[in-house]
Chain A
Amino acid sequence: MEPILEVKDLSVYYGVIQALKGISFHVNKGEIVALIGANGAGKTTTLHTLSGLIGADGGEIKYKGKELTKIANHKIVGLGMAQVPEGRRVFAEMTVLQNLKMGAYTRSDKSEMEATLSDIYKRFPRLEERKMQLAGTLSGGEQQMLAMGRALMSHPDLILMDEPSMGLSPIFVNEIFKIIEDVNRDGVTVLLVEQNAKKALSIANRAYVLETGKIAKEGDAKELLNDESIRKAYLGE
């Protein structure tokens, strides 16, 4: 299997505090890879650094062989890597349809864009029903769907998802995880950051455990799910 994303010795500082202490991991094409860990372990920092919202202070991020730390951050989505940010961050004052179109900002292939849009409506029928509604008026779960749909509009090969289940009701959580599996089955590689470790490990192929800015453990997701220390620390058993 070939890696679509390879991160080597990535380090990030917030002032004098080192948030990422030289982490290395990779994501193979077609996988779902979970990045789990407690609050403040550096999960969101990792994703933000991958997307260039935070500058790396050391290390490499290779996406499809290209070094991302040297590319202007707004150009990254055009290379095929999209992010569903933590807390959804939909454009509340814009309609659902306008949000989706923003997701396709870097695309210029109009007819194929329409096809992507109708695929997304098929995946999220609720978004089509509410396409003229302001995104800020949607429920949390619907906003999560919109954030996912918006990221998918760029037609990504790799999608980074930051805490997609945060603050959602159990029914929505199940639905969101099912959608992540569907999206992956349709050929999109997924890097999933989650506090809900049990759910994340149950759909992932492989996983990394992040502890205070370092990779503490890595391996097959099913094995980690049965790992004694993981069960104690992250699954609450």
Chain B
Amino acid sequence: METINTIQEQKHPMDDLLRMDRIPHIWCPGCGIGNAVSAFAEALRKLEYDLDKVVVVSGIGCTGRVAGYIKTDSFHTTHGRAIAFATGIKLGNPDLKVIVISGDGDLVSIGGNHFVHAARRNIDLTVICVNNFIYAMTGGQVAPTTPIPAYTTTSPFGNFEAPANVPQLAEAAGAVYVARWTALHMRRLADSIVEAFNRPGFSVVEVISPCAMYYSRINKLGDGLDMMQFYYNNSIIRHGESTDNLNIDYQKEIIVGKFVDRERPAFSESLNEWLRKDQVE
């Protein structure tokens, strides 16, 4: 056995895609956001896309830190406005590939308006929504994705509000690609990110992630490894499942898979077409 080695000594295959001056990251042991970043890095490696043309945007929260760790052009924006910033970047320079990586509290609750309307206009973005059922960075408050009757710091008698169903919301608003995976389905998640990246239009990949420090500790569900084991035992892959059935109940089965894959004209495409038509007339 060798002795403990230093951080700089060895080169991880993902080191080229990460800002190494910021690693190790701040996420807790047992958190699944690092897995989502790994899957994203793996997807970028598979795509072999020019990294100068990839922009990562994130909002505020635990998952909002992702933009700081990925070595592409990246923006750490105001709370909930990640998609709004990304829309501006995409329309300002349509050659760029814009990816929004943010949490459920940022995208679905505070930025819910932007989420819905970016999907409606079908702006060419890839959204990776890391769902850990809670506002983790601010201390474990109840989020719009918290299942009934989970305990949080602001729902000491259990949550009674109906949780948001992210794939259904995305499909109803008009997203062209909707998938959901847990933090354990790493290869499928990476493949899904590759597919979403290549799809013109608004594509959403939801990643169910364990929150070891707030969600599972308050609810006495064990640590990150226990949550992963729960996903291992209770996630069911059903491609093409109707998004009506995708509500996540407390500690019940989680349906994962690719649910929506359809074609709609993307925003920039329809904008150009419209302007061209106008000029011809």
A binds B: no
